[in-house]
């Protein structure tokens, strides 16, 4: 996937359109509560500005109903970016209006403007050619640094490349491809994949793609109950995909045929009340016939599973982790996810963390700086791990 990089560009005095991911969370007062995505774009933005680009940024925010809605305005992002850059950041009330076009044309070298939410127009998601051309405007260069939306063929990620001479990846996408593609071509052994979350169906393609490449899989979260029920264990009131039981058995069979170790939780922490401070207990080991009784539901991996999983993590050479071990947002149910997070952070392995909840866990426990790489794109990172092409990357100019 050799694509033109921002490092290869001469942007002096040139009009550059850059797709960023400023889809930041806002509170009811319209204030940004987490500016991580803006901060993540700073290296590319600073490089372009220092190189003398006349820089226009575009992004989406939230899910507006294809019309202007102040609730989803990017103006707070422009204000925060101005503070971070310590320079003025102009803001256009539309992304394709005459006012926006005039403001872009008036930019001088080293100046920057942020356009209003691209999703105020339905043509953005439908990748309408006319809208893409208008958004491209007079740009001579397009830079995509919005990895979180690179798996979508939208006008601002794919469509504009057909109307701009050069299209390159930013530093953020470049780093995502380095870790999720290049470093996993020949991963250091043992290669451990940790999968959690609610549904087998959400991760089936990743599991299938990595099953013959990984040495070991660890399965946690609610998806583990689907596997355990498929094996004949009672799972009480736990979340289960009953239509995926045969699929779970097929995965276990294929793992056995490939001699890939597939570790399910040896035991489960369960509760009758889904709230902080609720009573919990741990089931017997499944090897000894452990089951979850009716009226109880699994909310975390058990104590034996924690010990087994952490021991496995300590021996790994490469770790890919996507999905928590349980409902870690509730402190009473966080033991498994916290222990796995700490084990991954302590490991000397190359550790790649992807998926919103896994990233949230790493940050919750203050260990983000102790893993090798944190992916910024949930769906995009999963699709890369599945071996799929990302439209927002494929459309870029070949290097």
- Residue by residue, DSSP assigns 306-372 as HHHHHHHHHT-SEEEEES-SS-TTSGGG-HHHHHHHHHHHH--SEEEE-SHHHHHHHHHTT-GGGSS
pLDDT at 185 exceeding the cut of 70? yes
pLDDT at 266 exceeding the cut of 90? yes
Strands (E) in the chain, as ranges, are 15-19, 54-58, 90-92, 112-115, 141-144, 166-169, 191-195, 216-219, 261-263, 268-271, 280-282, 297-301, 318-322, 350-353, 373-374
Paired residues of 278 in beta bridges: none
What average pLDDT score do residues 312-319 get?
97
Percent of the chain with pLDDT over 90: 82
Phi-psi region of 66 (alpha: psi -120 to 50; beta: other; left: phi over 0): left
Measuring CA to CA, which residue among 392, 382, 319 is closest to residue 356?
382
Structure tokens at 294: 């009716």
17: three-class secondary structure by DSSP:
strand
Confidence of residue 67 (pLDDT cuts 50, 70, 90): confident
pLDDT of residue 42: 97
CB-side neighbour CA atoms (13 Å) of 271: 17
pTM above 0.85, yes or no: yes
What average pLDDT score do residues 180-209 get?
91
Domain residue ranges in the chain? 6-172, 179-385
List pLDDT tens digits, range 168-179.
Answer: 999 999 999 999
Span 6-172: which CATH code? 3.40.50.1260
Q: Is 10 exposed, middle or buried (0-12, 13-18, 19+ CB in 10 A)?
A: exposed
List pLDDT tens digits, range 372-385.
Answer: 999 887 788 888 88
- Residue by residue, DSSP assigns 316-329 as -SEEEEES-SS-TT
Distance of CA 175 to the CA centre of its chain: 13
Measuring CA to CA, which residue among 141, 168, 140, 176 is closest to residue 397?
168
What average pLDDT score do residues 239-247 get?
94
Q: Do domains 6-172 and 179-385 have the same CATH topology?
A: yes
- Residue 25 DSSP one-character state: -
pLDDT of residue 384: 86
What average pLDDT score do residues 193-214 get?
90
pLDDT at 356 exceeding the cut of 70? no
Low-confidence winner among 36-50, 62-76, 291-305 (lowest mean pLDDT) = 62-76
> Hey, which residues are catalytic here?
37, 199, 356, 379
Distance of CA 97 to the CA centre of its chain: 32
Q: How far apart (Å, rounded) are the C-alpha atoms in residues 378 and 202?
A: 11
pLDDT at 1 exceeding the cut of 80? no
Q: CB neighbours of 16 closer than 8 A, spacing ≥ 6?
A: 48, 53, 54, 55, 56, 139, 140, 141, 142, 143
- How many other CB atoms are found less than 10 A from the CB of residue 138? 12
Span 179-385: which CATH code? 3.40.50.1260
């Amino acid at each position: 996937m050799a694509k033109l990089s921002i490092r290869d560009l001469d942007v002096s005095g040139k009009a550059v359109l850059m797709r960023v991911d400023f889809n930041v969370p806002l509170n009811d007062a319209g204030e940004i509560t987490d500016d991580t995505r803006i901060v993540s774009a700073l290296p590319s933005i600073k490089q372009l500005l220092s190189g003398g680009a006349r820089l226009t940024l575009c992004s989406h925010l939230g899910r507006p109903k294809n019309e202007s809605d102040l609730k989803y305005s990017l103006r707070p992002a422009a204000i925060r970016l101005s503070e971070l850059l310590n320079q003025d950041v102009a803001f256009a009330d539309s992304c394709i209006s005459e006012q926006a076009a005039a403001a872009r044309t008036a930019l001088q070298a080293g100046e920057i403007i942020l356009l209003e939410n691209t999703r105020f127009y339905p043509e953005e998601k439908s990748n309408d050619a006319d809208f893409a051309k208008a958004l491209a405007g007079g740009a001579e260069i397009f830079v995509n640094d919005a990895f979180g939306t690179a798996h979508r063929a939208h006008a601002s990620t794919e469509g504009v490349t057909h109307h701009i001479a050069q299209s390159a990846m930013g530093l953020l996408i470049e780093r995502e491809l380095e870790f999720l593609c290049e470093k996993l071509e020949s991963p250091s052994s043992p290669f451990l994949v940790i999968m959690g979350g609610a549904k087998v169906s959400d991760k089936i393609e990743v599991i299938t793609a990595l099953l013959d490449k990984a040495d070991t899989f660890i399965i946690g979260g609610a998806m583990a109950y689907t596997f355990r029920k498929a094996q004949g264990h009672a799972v009480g009131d736990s979340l289960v995909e009953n239509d995926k039981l045969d699929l779970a058995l097929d995965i276990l069979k294929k793992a056995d045929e490939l001699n890939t170790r597939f570790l399910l939780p040896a035991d489960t922490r369960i509760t009758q009340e889904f709230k902080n401070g609720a009573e919990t207990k741990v089931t017997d080991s499944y090897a000894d016939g452990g089951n979850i009784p009716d009226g109880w539901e699994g909310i975390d991996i058990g104590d034996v599973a924690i010990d087994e999983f952490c021991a496995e993590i300590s021996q790994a050479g490469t770790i890919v982790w996507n999905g928590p071990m349980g409902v870690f947002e509730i402190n009473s149910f966080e033991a498994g996810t916290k222990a796995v997070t700490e084990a991954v952070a302590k490991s000397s392995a190359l550790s790649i963390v992807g998926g919103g909840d896994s990233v949230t866990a790493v940050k919750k426990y203050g260990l983000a700086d102790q893993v090798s790489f944190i992916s910024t794109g949930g769906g995009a990172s999963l699709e890369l791990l599945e071996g799929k092409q990302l439209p927002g990357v494929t459309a870029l100019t070949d290097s």
